[in-house]
């Protein structure tokens, strides 16, 4: 089979844009479709709104193969493969808002209904949809007007992380495909061949690895792999956070413990960094969605419930430490929050532990000054009362306590002596990411409080 060349990606958000750029880099003619005209115009001007390493380089390398548009119809007609990569935000009850997916599927269905095709369009669910999402999309395509033979649905969950999305896409640990149609799966195999065989000019040197395992399975299993992977990683972090509390009681160092257990290849050393826990647009949403899906079938998931509980407890613990160091009340106290995005290297504030800590501190009467190299202003818009600071020292000025919430380089490289000079007693520094050297912090005259560090 010949590899498909004309690919559409609907939704030019984080996942969609990176997917579009990487497929174009690998040689496909890609059109990214987004309903937001301003976004599309910005992208046409070469203005990337994402803080994502390597994205600009690979787009520059294949500029002539990527187009941006708001117009779905001609793209559906011209494409062999269409990725659905729109947002699927979580709702308060843990369920998933599928209105974006629904809109795209019905729209694609309408176009397919009015067109004769030689070969069915392969519609790929890249968005994280609840298990059963593949069948749901098929139904919507049909309801939109698509004839039975005009499309095939495939699930292709993504495992990219914000901040390393391009390299995660080009050098993944595995590629997962789920579907019922052999023909569609074969087309997807061809599309992913360069990644599986690692047969493309690497944008970075040295190239990290060679063979990429390809898992081809049924729809439900592919969809479940996505949820299970995120739930496992979130649970792993909660596990090390629980161990970090134990370490504090017995005088152990969680960093040493993580290294000691992580070298066991059955455990693995990644995602064992203790602190104020996991956030972002994926882990909280996907763990909640998995629990909600299980709950709908009458299945409790006590392990995941505990992982969520441990995670929230870490954030509350940071606030608790500030409160007790300041004598039991936060009323009128100035507290600095260093780092606001959910992790370093991204502007993304969704599900950020920092924002919850800010809100908790403000609720108790604290005056919170938040520093972030990229998203201070937006954070202040989201958390009423948060004072945005564009350098860490203006946040620390006159503060009696500070919380490191995101381990940005700018925070790791803090001039501790200067920090101590501008803060007021007791000069508490809660290191919510275990990002600083406790000895150096203490030597500068600050009171250090890390997580699980003896
Ligand atoms: C996560 C997964 O890692 C990706 O594989 C997945 O594709 C993505 O969700 C998704 O479903 O779209 P991401 O949300 O970008 O990626 O962020 P991570 O790097 O996984 O970090 C998540 C959170 O865990 C962050 O708040 C981070 O600070 C925290 N974390 C991570 C820890 O607290 N400790 C660790 O050891 C690692």
Please identify which residue in the block is written with the tokens 């050297």. 437
DSSP 113: H
Atom of ligand 1 minimally distant from the CA of 276 = 33
pLDDT single digits (tens) 163-173: 899 999 999 99
| CA-160 nearest atom, ligand 1 | 7
- Note whether 130 and 289 are within 8 A (CB): yes
Q: What is the pLDDT of residues 201-220, one digit of tens each?
A: 888 887 776 789 999 999 99
Closest CA to 322 of 250, 451, 429, 398: 429
Predicted pLDDT of residue 205: 82
CA distances from 57 to 46, 54, 181, 406, 440 (A): 11, 5, 36, 26, 38
Measure the CA–CA gap between 336 and 392, rounded to whole angstroms: 8
Residue 242, C-beta contacts closer than 8 angstroms, at least 6 positions apart: 310
- How far, in Å, is the centroid of ligand 1 from the Cα of 275? 13
Answer whether 236's CB lies under 8 Å from 269's CB.
no
Ligand 1 center–CA 281 separation, angstroms: 9
Nearest CA residue ID for atom 13, ligand 1:
161
Which of 11, 19, 171, 230 has most ligand 1 atoms within 8 Å of CB, for mutation?
A: 230
- Tell me if 172 CB under 6 Å of ligand 1: no
Digit-coded pLDDT (tens) for 232-244? 999 999 999 999 9
In this prediction, residue 32 carries a pLDDT of 98
Measure the CA–CA gap between 232 and 286, rounded to whole angstroms.
11
pLDDT of residue 51: 78
Query: Under CATH, what is the fold of the domain 6-217?
Result: Rossmann fold (3.40.50)
278-321 pLDDT, tens per residue? 999 999 999 999 999 999 999 999 999 999 999 999 999 999 99
Looking from the CA of 360 toward its CB, the CA atoms found within 13 Å total 20
Report pLDDT for 206: 74
User: Which atom of ligand 1 lies closest to the CA of 351?
Assistant: 26
Give me the sheet containing 447-449, strands edge to edge: 387-389, 367-371, 334-338, 401-404, 428-431, 447-449
Mean pLDDT value across residues 62-85: 96
Q: Kindly give the distance from the C-alpha atom of residue 237 to the centroid of ligand 1, in angstroms, as a whole number.
A: 10
What pLDDT is recorded for position 114? 86
Q: 116 pLDDT exceeds 80?
A: no
Q: What is the rounded distance in angstroms from the CA atom of residue 255 to the CA atom of residue 240? A: 10
Which ligand 1 atom sits nearest the alpha carbon of residue 275? 33
Q: Which fold has domain 307-449?
A: Rossmann fold (3.40.50)
Structure tokens at 285: 């949403």
Q: How confident is the model at residue 324 (pLDDT cuts 50, 70, 90)?
A: very high
> Could you give the residue numbers annotated as active site?
282
- Ligand 1 pocket: which of 314, 343, 345, 406 to mutate (most atoms <8 Å of CB)? 343
Does an H or E element contain 71, and which?
none
**Which regions of the chain carry the CATH code 3.40.50.720?**
6-217, 307-449
- At 359, the pLDDT band (50, 70, 90 cuts) reads very high
Percentage of the chain exceeding pLDDT 70: 100
Please state the rounded mean pLDDT for residues 133-160. Answer: 96
Cβ atoms of 452 and 258 within 8 Å: the answer is no
pLDDT confidence band for 50 (50 / 70 / 90) = confident
Answer yes or no: is the C-beta of 171 below 6 A from any ligand 1 atom: no
């Amino acid at each position: 089979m010949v590899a498909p060349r004309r690919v559409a990606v609907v939704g030019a958000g984080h996942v969609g844009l990176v997917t579009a750029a990487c497929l174009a880099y690998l040689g496909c003619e890609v059109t990214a479709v987004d309903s937001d005209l301003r976004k599309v115009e910005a992208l046409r001007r070469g203005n990337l709104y994402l803080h994502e390493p390597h994205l600009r380089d690979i787009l520059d390398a294949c500029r002539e193969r990527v187009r941006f548009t708001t117009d779905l119809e001609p793209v559906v007609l011209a494409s062999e493969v269409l990725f659905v990569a729109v947002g699927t935000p979580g709702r308060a009850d843990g369920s998933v808002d599928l209105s974006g997916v629904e809109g795209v599927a019905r729209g694609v269905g309408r176009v397919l209904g009015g067109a004769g095709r030689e070969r069915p369009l392969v519609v790929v669910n890249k968005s994280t949809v609840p298990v059963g999402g593949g069948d749901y999309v098929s139904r919507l395509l049909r309801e939109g007007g698509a004839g039975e033979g005009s499309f095939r649905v495939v699930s292709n969950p993504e495992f990219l992380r914000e901040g390393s999305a391009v390299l995660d896409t080009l050098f993944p640990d595995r590629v997962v495909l789920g579907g019922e149609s052999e023909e569609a799966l074969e087309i997807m195999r061809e599309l992913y061949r360069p990644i599986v065989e690692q047969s493309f000019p690497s944008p970075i040197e040295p190239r990290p690895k060679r063979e990429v395992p390809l898992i081809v399975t049924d729809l439900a299993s592919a969809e479940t792999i996505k949820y299970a992977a995120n739930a496992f990683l979130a649970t792993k972090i909660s596990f090390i956070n629980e161990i970090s509390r134990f370490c504090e009681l017995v005088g152990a160092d969680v960093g040493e413990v993580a290294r000691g257990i992580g070298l066991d290849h059955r455990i693995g050393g990644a995602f064992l960094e203790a602190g104020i826990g996991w956030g972002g647009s994926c882990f909280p949403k996907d763990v909640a969605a998995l629990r909600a899906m299980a709950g709908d079938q009458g299945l409790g998931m006590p392990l995941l419930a505990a992982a969520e509980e441990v995670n929230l407890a870490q954030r509350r613990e940071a606030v608790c430490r500030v409160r007790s160091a300041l004598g039991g009340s936060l009323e009128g106290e100035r507290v600095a929050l260093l780092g606001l995005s959910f992790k370093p290297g991204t502007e993304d504030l969704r599900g950020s532990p920092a924002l919850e800590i800010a809100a908790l501190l403000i609720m108790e009467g604290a005056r919170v000054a938040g520093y972030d190299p990229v998203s201070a202003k937006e954070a202040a818009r989201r958390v009423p009362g948060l004072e945005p600071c564009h350098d860490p020292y203006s946040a620390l000025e006159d503060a009696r306590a500070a919380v490191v919430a995101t381990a940005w380089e700018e925070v790791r490289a803090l001039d501790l002596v200067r920090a101590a000079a501008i803060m007021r007693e007791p000069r508490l520094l809660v290191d919510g990411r275990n990002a600083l050297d406790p000895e150096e912090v203490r030597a500068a005259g600050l009171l250090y409080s890390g997580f699980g560090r003896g």
